[in-house]
C-alpha cells in the first residue's frame, strides 16, 4: 500500500493520539472506501467550531464512553470530515488546520488556499 500524502505533497503525519482520532482510530487522517464522510482534515478544534458542529447535529463535545470517546475540548486535534470543515469555513467557524496531517483528499472538497489561510504555524 502506498504511503498517504498530505495536502502539501509530503508524507501524511500524525494528527493526534490523545484523544485517538481518525476514521481508523490510528491517529492519522487516513481515508478509504468505507470512510464516506472523508475524515481527512486535521484540525485543532475551537469552542466556536464545537458549538457550530453541534448545531448541525454532530456533537463532538459530549463524551460517549460506550464508544471510548472522551468528548473534545477546545485545543484538541481531530480528523474532521472535509465537507464539515468547508461548511464551517463558509459559516465563519473554521478551526485551524495542521497541513502536514491533513490528507491530500481534502483537496477534493477544500481549496489549498483556504486550508493554508487557516493553517497552524509551528503547532500554534
Predicted confidence band of residue 98 (pLDDT cuts 50, 70, 90): very high
* pLDDT, the chain, mean: 94
Backbone CA torsion sign across 76, 14, 24, 6: positive
Percent of the chain with pLDDT over 90: 87
Percent of the chain with pLDDT over 70: 96
Distance of alpha carbon 47 from alpha carbon 119, whole angstroms = 17
Instruction: Give the pLDDT confidence of 35-73 residue by residue, as tens digits.
Output: 999 999 999 999 999 999 999 999 999 999 888 889 999
Amino acid at each position: 500500500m502506498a504511503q498517504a500524502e498530505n495536502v502539501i505533497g509530503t508524507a501524511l503525519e500524525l494528527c493526534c493520539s490523545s484523544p485517538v482520532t481518525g476514521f481508523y482510530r490510528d491517529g492519522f487522517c487516513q481515508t478509504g472506501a468505507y470512510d464516506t464522510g472523508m475524515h481527512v482534515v486535521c484540525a485543532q478544534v475551537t469552542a466556536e467550531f464545537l458549538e457550530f458542529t453541534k448545531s448541525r447535529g454532530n456533537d463532538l463535545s459530549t463524551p460517549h464512553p460506550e464508544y471510548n470517546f472522551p468528548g473534545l475540548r477546545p485545543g484538541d486535534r481531530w480528523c474532521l470530515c472535509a465537507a464539515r470543515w468547508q461548511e464551517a469555513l463558509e459559516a465563519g467557524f473554521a478551526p485551524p488546520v495542521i497541513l502536514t496531517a491533513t490528507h491530500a483528499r481534502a483537496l477534493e472538497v477544500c481549496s489549498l488556499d483556504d486550508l493554508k489561510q487557516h493553517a497552524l504555524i509551528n503547532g500554534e
